[in-house]
Amino acid sequence: MPLVTSTEMFKKAYDGGYAIGAFNVNNMEIVQGITEACQEEHAPVILQVSKGARAYANHTYLVKLVEAAVECCPDIPIVLHLDHGPDFETCKSCIDGGFTSVMIDASSKPFAENIEITKKVVEYAHDHGVVVEAELGTLAGIEDEVKVAAHEASYTHPEEVEEFVSKTGCDSLAIAIGTSHGAYKFKPEQCTRDPKTGRLVPPPLAFDILHEIEEKLPGFPIVLHGSSSVPEEYVKIIDQYGGNLPNAVGIPEEQLREASKSAVCKINIDSDSRLAYTAGVRETLAQHPDYFDPRQYGKVARKYMTEMYSHKIIDVLGSDHKLINCD
């Protein structure tokens, strides 16, 4: 099937109590790892591209990689989505360039200006058959050009969501309830330590805010950004083979699974892909110092990512075996 929008995906996810995985793509191995997992688990998927990925890999290369995935996986509904579009011009470029979904992130702007910018993108996107994700509230952390200090982050205000959605016409809304970008989502002083394992335990997500938003926007799809769990096994491999990721901590998977049973229809995962990829590369090169062919370590990195994506689809998102009528 051709690329699709997220409209039917989100309807099914909302009614079915699961979320769609939105995985960031930067190169061929990542695209292959995601789609191989989706084929194995019979799961719809959102392949998303950030401004940084477009700068790194080039818009055309990324679109063609996704088109290849569509051709190789004809039974998998695939959305091509712009992640954190910073302005109208970037969103327009992606809409004109074949994307089926875009995010306009004007969350750092004042409320009225966020509405104005988002509405402009929505009007252009809808005229071209493309859906739009917007954002209210700001997440802490670092992801490509998105850099927000912890003291600058703010939870979404539930009392604003009805007005925002009504005035902008956006199709889904990313909210801030305590998730964070990057592999260092929380500082140690924000966490407690498990006395048995010594691992950092982050503060819980603000489910009270999520549930209040659900009540104000019944049936409306909600999005969580910054939702990597930063798997300990990959951090250990990276550190074992020359890396240095002290106090890396993510969002507990049980909290993400709880969120996916609510109005949250899309969960963004990026850092976990990077960790799995890097773990595979570091481990392979350390164990085989004679290797110099990228296919040798790329194959292992892709395998680690495929395993990670399958786990997320089944145990975190609950989106396995959900292919019916997503187009």
Amino acid occupying residue 102: V
Q: Is 83 a catalytic residue?
A: yes
280 vs 299: CA distance, rounded Å: 8
Sheet strand arrangement including 180-181: 146-148, 140-143, 180-181
The residue from 83, 105, 171, 320 that is catalytic is 83
Listing DSSP states for 219-265 in one string gives T--EEE-S-----HHHHHHHHHTT---TT-B---HHHHHHHHTTTEE
Alpha-carbon dihedral sign for residues 312, 316, 318, 322: negative
149 vs 81: CA distance, rounded Å: 26
- Crossing angle of helices 111-127 and 88-96, rounded to 10°: 20
**How distant, in Å, are the alpha carbons of 16, 19, 205 from that of 23?**
20, 12, 21
Active site residues: 83
